[in-house]
Homo-oligomer: A and B are copies of this chain.
């Protein structure tokens, strides 16, 4: 993975994240010995094209089809799984169990819209530091904590703009 200078000021050494372009990620794929086929390019471009909004496998397939008509749903799942294993994309799970994919491989949190179910990337900010500190102090005889994931509930921009904020938590 080509490490860009974009994340220089960050403490974490994972600079492949927000700064990594489509080309960077395709290069990473090839460096691991996998072919950058037209289908894989289209699928990766589809995930990247969604920006901060996380997309389902079916959505990725639809978007990828517009770029490469031969893309198939099975190939989409296979490719997303491959990209996930290589750390190029992440998979998160909706409250209802549906999986969505995001192109931001850096640790971050997610916001799930209570109204439309959209999953949006959120910056970790100070919360991560606080949680990591607290997590070390969390001593429970029944469970040894090694990491955490936070999911925020709320309303996405589109639903708020449309005045749809009535769903209950």
The chain A residues found within 8 Å of chain B, CB to CB, are 52, 93-99, 111, 113-114, 120, 122-123, 125-127, 130-131, 134-135, 137-138, 140-157, 160, 165, 169
Contacts and interface: CB of A to CB of B under 8 A. Distances in A.
Total copies of this chain within the assembly: 2
B153 A151 contact: no
14 contacts: A93-B97, A97-B99, A111-B145, A113-B143, A120-B143, A122-B143, A125-B134, A126-B134, A135-B152, A138-B152, A142-B157, A143-B156, A148-B150, A148-B152
A154 B146 contact: yes
A127 B133 CA distance: 10
Instruction: Tell me which of A148, A151, A152, A157 has the highest count of chain B C-beta atoms within 10 A of its own C-beta.
Output: A152
